[in-house]
A and B are shown apart, each in its own frame.
Chain A
Amino acid sequence: MKKENAIQVENLTKMFGDFTAVNNISFKVGKGEVFGFLGANGAGKTTAMKMLIGILKPTSGSAQVAGFDVKSNAEDVKKSIGYMSQRFSLYNDLTIKENITFFGGIYGLEKSAIKEKTQLLIDELGLHDEVNKLVGSLPLGWKQKVAFSVSLLHNPQIIFLDEPTGGVDPITRRQFWEMIYREANNGKTIFVTTHYMDEAEYCDRVSIMVEGKIEALDTPKNLKAKYKVDSMNKVFLKLARNIE
């Protein structure tokens, strides 16, 4: 791995009352890495991610994102990251253009910059005819691509994607991952959660969370070798089953 770390997590814990949602996890994500954050539903992925993006306060432990502490410096963290959630993150009753203008605006982009970015984004996604259509009328796959591009508007160093390809067809998923790779090649760090194990294979490294703990963390290749199986799917099942 590269020397510089985009994300550095130490003994991060989140309790909700007596329930430990995230149990003492530690890991590092290098700059420019595509980091897969896997786990079954309810394993604590979303909670962990929320702490990293600064909207949930950790109970104990620490985390640095883009060099800023999430506890004491959440505002700087927010400026350096892009976020796209599993639920659709644009406004359906606004047009593509209005969405871009709005999100550009709340990240403090200049008008001219927004205009330039809008043009770039539209060219890139080939949405010339749709730019003034309400987002709600677009197919899901397109929406997600637009949402991803919008989360990049303010040029963040790290992009958090929470199940970005849920419910999207395989071709669009493939295109989506091409977009992810392009950003990673541009030096951006990608932190992505997914339920699709084929997508896990695309990641540089993956961690697998089970019941609030990180049970495995390595490259897909090493993980498969360690558990003596031929796919990430089997790695995942093996880990999840061991616990049950």
Chain B
Amino acid sequence: MKRFIGFIKKEFYHIFRDKRSLFILFGMPIVQVLLFGFAITNEINNVDIAILDHSKDATTKEIINKIAASKYFSIKQFIDNEAAIETAFKKGQIKAVLNFEKDFGKKIVAEGKATVQILTDATDPNTANTISNYVSSILQNYQREINKDVQLAFQIVPKTRLIYNPELKSVFMFVPGVMTIILMLVSAMMTSISITREKELGTMEILLVSPLKPFQVIVGKVVPYIFLAVINAIIIILLSIFVFRMPVQGSFILLGAESVLFIINALSLGILISTVSASQQTAMMVSLMGLMLPVILLSGFIFPINSMPFPLQVISNIIPAKWFIIILKGIMLKGVGLAIVWKETLILMGMTLLFIALSVKKYKIRLE
């Protein structure tokens, strides 16, 4: 035990004397959470749009006023012919154009029907979609208003209520994802680098010649990172609670336990990486390409898994981060307990055991 404490102390010297790794460990989580929380959102706010109004009557004016009054849009310019639409888009100043047809107000009264074209800049498809949805709903509201005296024969009134994240704050979606990325990065990349560093410098040989057993060396290298990753998880949760007012509905104990499980999972991956890479550079590249990219792209963090092509959906199942994000969202946003996320937890446990078994096997092979 005493040997062990000395070993861990040494690991902390390494970590705290290397400014670069210190920054990765503590600077990055904070920067990432703040970045994702503040800068990157799916919400739209004050989107600049242009209006092409061919009729210029009371009805279109009313609609335009409604749109201008909403906090989502601000009307940047009025244009008067179709040719100008393209120019406006190309200049990149506006994201959408509303094109009211001629005699809009008259047609509504006379034929009960009039058309407005919504043109959106789909170079950014997500925003384009959101914009057209928002405009449509403003139009629908208006329609309901002018129809309120007329009794329609059949009417379906959808009443939408968004639960678990009623304000559609995208930070709620990002926090679990960012937490997953950071825990993965700290745990897997940092351990794999720190183990390969000993190999690269030749000190690993010295450790193996010492009476320390190989698994003691590995555990000694890993324990400090468990500790640091837990601190990171706490920082991220505190940031999301106090800076972004994100609630944690479920149990903190379960959240902690699941995080530790995921950390151990990532650490065992890190050990596995270090057994196959000979240099710190390789370890870093393998961690970045082999772990970070799938975590970001295939875990459902940014892109919904349901809308992926089938093969990718299958692949996403072998990514531990996917299961951890489901667990995190469940606990943090929905307040569910182990009774609901037991399946995901079991999957993570199974993966962890597999990785540990593999790395123990690999590690032995390297020694012989």
A105 touches B206 (CB 8 A): no
Residue of B nearest to A57 (CB): B368
A105 touches B13 (CB 8 A): no
Residue of B nearest to A101 (CB): B6
Interface membership of A5, Cβ < 8 A:
no
What interface size band does chain B fall in?
20 to 34
Min distance, Cβ B311 to any Cβ of chain A, angstroms: 37
| Docked complex Cα distance between A57 and B9 (Å) | 31
| Docked complex Cα distance between A8 and B207 (Å) | 24
A102 touches B205 (CB 8 A): no
Interface membership of A79, Cβ < 8 A:
yes
Interface membership of B159, Cβ < 8 A:
no
Interface membership of B112, Cβ < 8 A:
no
B368 touches A56 (CB 8 A): yes
B17 touches A93 (CB 8 A): yes
Q: B7, B202, B209, B368: which contacts A53 (Cβ < 8 A)?
A: B209
Min distance, Cβ B13 to any Cβ of chain A, angstroms: 6
Residues of A close to B206: CB separation below 8 A: 83, 85, 89, 103
Residues of B close to A92: CB separation below 8 A: 201
Contact count A vs B, C-beta below 8 Å: 74
Which of A53, A54, A105, A108 is most buried by chain B, counting CB atoms within 10 A of its CB? A105
Residues of A close to B18: CB separation below 8 A: 93
| Docked complex Cα distance between A103 and B203 (Å) | 11
What interface size band does chain A fall in?
20 to 34
Residue of A nearest to B368 (CB): A57
Q: A89, A93, A105: which contacts B14 (Cβ < 8 A)?
A: A93
| Docked complex Cα distance between A103 and B207 (Å) | 9
A108 touches B209 (CB 8 A): no
A94 touches B203 (CB 8 A): no
B368 touches A91 (CB 8 A): no
Q: A93-B18, A101-B6, A105-B2 are in contact. Are A88 and B202 (CB under 8 A)?
A: yes
Residues of A close to B202: CB separation below 8 A: 85-89
Residues of B close to A179: CB separation below 8 A: none
Interface residues of B in 1-44 (CB under 8 A from A): 2-3, 5-7, 9-10, 13-14, 17-18
- Measuring CB to CB, which residues of chain A are less than 8 angstroms from any residue of chain B? 53-57, 75, 78-79, 81, 83, 85-94, 98, 101-103, 105-108, 134
List of 7 A-B pairs having minimum Cβ-Cβ separation, nearest first: A87-B202, A105-B6, A83-B209, A93-B17, A89-B206, A102-B10, A55-B208
- Can you offer 16 A-B residue contacts whose CB atoms are under 8 A? A54-B209, A55-B208, A79-B211, A85-B205, A85-B206, A86-B202, A88-B202, A89-B203, A93-B14, A94-B13, A101-B6, A102-B7, A106-B3, A107-B210, A108-B2, A108-B3
